[in-house]
Amino acid sequence: MKPTTRPDRPFFGSGPTAKRPGWSLSGLEGAMLGRSHRDAVAKARINEVIERSRRVLGIPADYRLGILPGSDTGAFEAAMWSMLGARGVDLLAWESFGEGWVTDATKQLKLSDVRTLSAGYGELPDLTEVDFGRDVVFTWNGTTSGVRVPNGDWIAADRQGLTFCDATSAAFAMDLPWSKLDVTTWSWQKVLGGEAQHGMLALSPRAVERLESYKPAWPLPKLFRLTKGGKLIEGIFKGETINTPSMLAVEDALDGLRWAEEVGGLKGLIARSEANLAAISSWAADTAWVDFLAALPATRSCTSICLKIADPRVASLAESDQQKVVKELAGLLAKEQVAYDIAGYRDAPPGLRIWGGATVDVSDTKALLPWLDWAFGEVAARLDAEAA
Ligand SMILES: Cc1ncc(COP(=O)(O)O)c(C=O)c1O
């Protein structure tokens, strides 16, 4: 039976993600459009993104927080290019984005002293193997497998190396232990549903020390340059962006941050996201045709919630045929306007990925679940008919 109730907002894609509830373009009317981003008022507006982000996330006062071009990728690569190579590095990867950073370190930067600790989709590498005498590069939440590190307990407090944490799909939905993180990045279009292309970079005092004491052997494009004459460019961390930002995106980021404060700050945001995971978990526990891609419950992401199709009629198919089933499912749901963009990531095993970040209302997630069963029923009926 086709369900009758549709989610109010069928936006379950993993980035750009759903706007906050109640968002409207008219909320951006005060944006400083047509004005220089170097003007004092505009700069204050940009800096407000930094300060509100710092407040909501509880970033320590002695950490620098800046806005970088090129979204999370820009921020993370600027950090990698600026700071790696000073000592050996452990690279952790368990899905596509972590693997991307491995490629950067090994094939582009060609670092000589590298250890790669990897795991397949659904798993985490053995975190007890990490050597914190070295730099450590990892992703807090693997967006394409829906596997997150359960906490920061595995990170040494007295480490000599720096930790580089890609927190794109974790920031604002998961607790990040700032004292364990030296370099942390995220982008605007994830948990707060902002507009894309701007990345955030948080640096611990030890990361700043590295920047001011180490000069990489390779050239740095202007977009990656965080120092000048061996000193940190402090302006980047006060709203003086390296190049021109979108003042419309800035206004939208502020809109998201103000909403974050209204729903109870970080605690409220985490609760909203965890409620989405809880709704899907309890449905999945009673639903034979799906399973979480993440093997261990403690590693299951509350933002990028990845499911595989466990039904033997699908699971026994060749991977390319499973992908066709996923496309069909996602297509049916999009056509019904109940869920957009929920096919798993192109490099991930076939499955569905449902965004459960803070901007998604749990009532919408709950309304989606019967539609998932309905769509699977449609696909299963086709498979049965073909087999008969
Ligand atoms: C973990 C992770 N890292 C990096 C990226 C790339 O982010 P951006 O497109 O903001 O550069 C994403 C995007 O989904 C991501 O999920």
pLDDT tens by residue, 29-83: 999 999 999 999 999 999 999 999 999 999 999 999 999 999 999 999 999 999 9
- Cβ of 15 closer than 6 Å to ligand 1, yes or no, is yes
- Cβ of 73 closer than 6 Å to ligand 1, yes or no, is yes
Q: Are 251 and 31 in contact (CB under 8 A)?
A: yes
Q: What band does 338 get if pLDDT is binned at 50, 70 and 90?
A: very high
pLDDT at 227 over 90: yes
What is the structure's pLDDT at 52?
A: 98
Shortest-distance Cα residue to atom 12 of ligand 1 = 168
What is the structure's pLDDT at 230?
A: 97
Q: With CA atoms as reference, report the closest residue to 99 among 346, 358, 362, 363.
A: 346
In DSSP terms, which residues pair with 231 in a beta bridge? 228
**Could you give the percent of the chain with pLDDT greater than 70?**
100
Ligand 1 binding pocket mutation candidate from 169, 192, 198, 303 (most atoms within 8 A of CB): 169
User: What phi, psi does 173 have (nearest 5°)?
Assistant: -130, -10
Ligand 1 atom nearest the C-alpha of 199 is: 10
- Cβ of 187 closer than 6 Å to ligand 1, yes or no, is yes
pLDDT at 316 over 90: yes
What is the structure's pLDDT at 54?
A: 98
What is the structure's pLDDT at 60?
A: 98
What is the structure's pLDDT at 283?
A: 98
Q: With CA atoms as reference, report the closest residue to 46 among 60, 34, 31, 64.
A: 31
Mind listing the pLDDT tens digit for each residue in 155-192?
999 999 999 999 999 999 999 999 999 999 999 999 99
C-alpha 177/C-alpha 151 separation (Å) is 8
Question: Is residue 187 classed as helix, strand or coil in its secondary structure?
Answer: strand
Mean pLDDT calculated for residue range 246-256 = 98
C-alpha 56/C-alpha 263 separation (Å) is 11
Instruction: Please provide the average confidence, as pLDDT, over all residues in the chain.
Output: 98
Question: Is residue 245 classed as helix, strand or coil in its secondary structure?
Answer: coil
Ligand 1 atom nearest the C-alpha of 75 is: 11
pLDDT at 118 over 90: yes
Mind listing the pLDDT tens digit for each residue in 194-209?
999 999 999 999 999 9
Find tokens 């990897």 and name the residue: 118
Q: What band does 346 get if pLDDT is binned at 50, 70 and 90?
A: confident
Ligand 1 atom nearest the C-alpha of 170 is: 1
C-alpha 147/C-alpha 94 separation (Å) is 8
- Cβ of 364 closer than 6 Å to ligand 1, yes or no, is no
Ligand 1 atom nearest the C-alpha of 304 is: 16
C-alpha 276/C-alpha 279 separation (Å) is 5
Structure tokens belonging to residue 52: 């509100």
- Cβ of 97 closer than 6 Å to ligand 1, yes or no, is yes
